[in-house]
Chain A
């Protein structure tokens, strides 16, 4: 019995000793310089020779990196953006170990093609990865996070390989991951600027996503994500978000998404999200929503869009409060007669009501759907009569005696003046 206790104590001391040893060894992780005149000239062999938790400093220069696999915890720091070139043959860097930091690298020229998702940086089945201040040029996929968690992607500039062509990949793709922070990135010229699928608990913040072939931001099945202060502009079709619950989109800007099938924000089968403080301006359709329930739209500005909201009749229990609608050609359009959503205390610049008791809330409800928007919905060519006198007459007649426009689609307490932000 006593023997056993003594043995236990001994083992405990021994393990403590070994732990200390590992810590000391760890603290002595080396720093390796790589450059044309250094001892290590080659990036790939430097990684092969490096120990765990070593730091590799890449000096300015051009290095071949045809699918360099990082299979141990390493910190790789680039000085003055050393170029890692895959020469259009494969991926540039694949990370398959935890605790890897990639800082200040210039990653270029992945292979293209549809057999494999060639990426500038691919992160696969790992944890605790930081990708900071890198530049990615001419990559099929930029940063590709798959099956990973606790990843920080910050301050990167990603340029896709094709402008105006469809066979590009996504700028930042996050697939089946958890707890990823995407911050201060600039993604352009890809298929989707930022793409998330099955990515939970992510924060997407202060990014600029522009001139992507398809969407600025695209996510599906990505619950509990937060999008703050991002700018999505000049993308092929804007931002599309689908099949997701509990999303928060706060203070983003959706700008200049023009075209036949363009919109600022497409919501499809979304449940229970908050969309607040966003600015939608100069989009063909600011928000188009389908099958989306229990969404809250608060304090958003809808300015100078073609349509401010296009809300299909299968959307239920959504609330629109304290928004500004100004300069939109059509405030709202819908495809059915029933509307089970709440509109309250929004400002509509086309509101013509009065406020007798001076409580700043209009005394008669505002109906944002006009007869003409119903007509245009059914006969798109009728847009040639936009702002014609006849159309005004028809709208007025319909407003006084509604027969075609959905009567339940009303703002019951419209504001008399614009909400100050």
Chain B
């Protein structure tokens, strides 16, 4: 399994895309820290960028890589290896390279300029988002053999999680605004890894505003130790669930 991951990692490194991605993240985060006097403001800007760029790059890059490396996968399938091992190997290889890129591009500047609880939360939720969207990409890739369709699905997934879902939430909140929604919003937040990550980071930053209103609900829930364990486990579920579904599909798939 790890041998496959190693080959995947070397292959990704050779393609230079990952290096460009690392440099891009590094320049953005360093730039935001250097040209912005207020650290908390730059953290917020970095967060906004992370919440859009990381899911997009992770999902599109992984899907493309998966399809481009399909011959390699087919070669591996001819070997005495279980399909589960192959998918996991691919996943770990892509994940390792993208997480490394993230840690160098965003992690290092944060460690230099804002090594505190907020920084830690940003790094952790960034890693979780990367893994989640790679996992979703694997799902999109095994779902169909057609490359264009696969990339289309993954783009649609990104679009759904980063834009459409929030609009749906607005609609739900508007429709049920006469009802107490304390528990519902926590469930709604858990159903989208991007929202979950954002709320956890914001609770470390914009507590004042969130505190004032229904934010007290979030603060009470996500701010507690239980909430922390809850959100971490939800994130892990978001990583594992699409991956295990794709393994299941891939096992039964007629190649």
The reply to whether B173 and A379 contact each other, CB–CB distance below 8 Å, is: yes
A382 within 8 A of B: yes
A387 partner, pick from B47, B211, B216, beta carbons under 8 A: B47
Q: Which residue of A has the minimal Cβ distance to B169?
A: A385
A389 partner, pick from B52, B170, B185, B209, beta carbons under 8 A: B52
B167-208 interface (Cβ within 8 A of A) = 167, 169-170, 173-174, 177, 181, 185, 188-189, 194-195, 198-199, 202, 206-208
A307 partner, pick from B181, B202, B207, B209, beta carbons under 8 A: B209
The reply to whether B212 and A388 contact each other, CB–CB distance below 8 Å, is: no
B213 within 8 A of A: yes
Complex Cα spacing A258 to B194, Å: 27
Chain A contacts of B120 at CB under 8 A? none
Chain B contacts of A284 at CB under 8 A? 208-209, 211-212
B67-91 interface (Cβ within 8 A of A) = none
Complex Cα spacing A304 to B215, Å: 16
Q: Which residue of B has the minimal Cβ distance to A382?
A: B173
The answer to whether A258 and B208 touch (CB under 8 A), given A327-B41, A375-B170, A389-B48, is: yes
The reply to whether B209 and A306 contact each other, CB–CB distance below 8 Å, is: yes
The answer to whether A383 and B177 touch (CB under 8 A), given A375-B170, A388-B195, A389-B166, is: no
Q: Which one, A40-48, A137-145, A390-398, is touching chain B?
A: A390-398
B214 within 8 A of A: yes
Closest Cβ of chain B to A320, distance in Å, is: 20
Chain A contacts of B41 at CB under 8 A? 327, 349
Chain A contacts of B195 at CB under 8 A? 384-385, 388
B166 partner, pick from A260, A305, A383, A391, beta carbons under 8 A: A391
A258 partner, pick from B47, B166, B170, B211, beta carbons under 8 A: B211
Complex Cα spacing A386 to B205, Å: 12
A: contact size bracket: 35 or more
The answer to whether A382 and B170 touch (CB under 8 A), given A327-B41, A389-B48, is: yes
B146-162 interface (Cβ within 8 A of A) = 162
Complex Cα spacing A381 to B199, Å: 13
The reply to whether B173 and A381 contact each other, CB–CB distance below 8 Å, is: yes
The reply to whether B211 and A259 contact each other, CB–CB distance below 8 Å, is: yes
The reply to whether B213 and A260 contact each other, CB–CB distance below 8 Å, is: yes
A335 within 8 A of B: no
Chain B contacts of A2 at CB under 8 A? none
Instruction: Show 7 A/B contacts (Cβ-Cβ < 8 Å), sorted by A.
Output: A259-B212, A284-B209, A284-B211, A284-B212, A306-B208, A383-B215, A384-B185
The chain B residues found within 8 Å of chain A, CB to CB, are 38, 40-41, 44, 47-48, 51-52, 162-163, 166-167, 169-170, 173-174, 177, 181, 185, 188-189, 194-195, 198-199, 202, 206-216, 218
Given contacts A307-B212, A382-B169, A388-B198, 9 further A-B contacts (CB under 8 A): A258-B208, A259-B216, A284-B211, A285-B212, A306-B210, A375-B170, A386-B198, A387-B202, A392-B48
Question: 10 closest A-B pairs (Cβ-Cβ)?
Answer: A306-B209, A284-B212, A329-B209, A390-B166, A380-B213, A306-B208, A306-B212, A380-B214, A381-B181, A379-B177
